[in-house]
Amino acid sequence: MQLITKETVTFEKGAMVIPLYLAKGVEFDAVLIYEASSRAYSRENDRKLLYTVCTRAMHRLHVYATGDWSPFVQALPVDLYEQAAY
C-alpha cells in the first residue's frame, strides 16, 4: 500500500491511501471512504468535499461511518445504494 502525499511524484499500481485534498482530478477503480459520518461531513462546504471523494470512484464506492451517516448520505434515495451492517 502506498501513502500519497503532496511530495509524491509518481503513482504505482496497487492500493494507495490519498488525502481528499489531493484526489481532485484523479480517478480510481475503487474508493473507500472510511468516515462519512455527520461528524466528518455535516456543514454545507463539506458537501463539496464528500462529492469530490465519491466521484473519484470509476467502478466501486464503499462508504463507512461510525455513528450517524452524514446528512448528505442520509438524503440520498435508498434505491441508489446497498447498505450492509457490520
Please tell me the pTM assigned to this model: 0.79
Q: What's the full length of the chain, in residues?
A: 86
Q: Is residue 18 part of a domain?
A: no
Pair 62, 33: CB distance under 8 Å:
yes
- CB atoms < 10 A from the CB of 75, how many? 9
With 90 as the cut, is the pLDDT of residue 84 above it?
Answer: no
Structural domain contains residue 61? yes
**pLDDT attached to residue 45:** 92
Q: Is residue 19 part of a domain?
A: no
9 and 19 in contact (C-beta within 8 Å)?
no
For 9, 44, 48, 76, the CA distances from 27, given in Å and listed in that order, are 16, 24, 16, 22
Determine the pLDDT at residue 86: 66
Overall domain count for the chain: 1
Higher pLDDT, 71 or 82: 71
Structural domain of 53: 26-68
User: For 6-62, how does the pLDDT look when each residue is reduced to its tens digit (9 = 90+)?
Assistant: 999 988 888 899 888 888 888 999 999 989 999 999 999 999 999 999 999 999 999
User: Is 4 within a domain?
Assistant: no
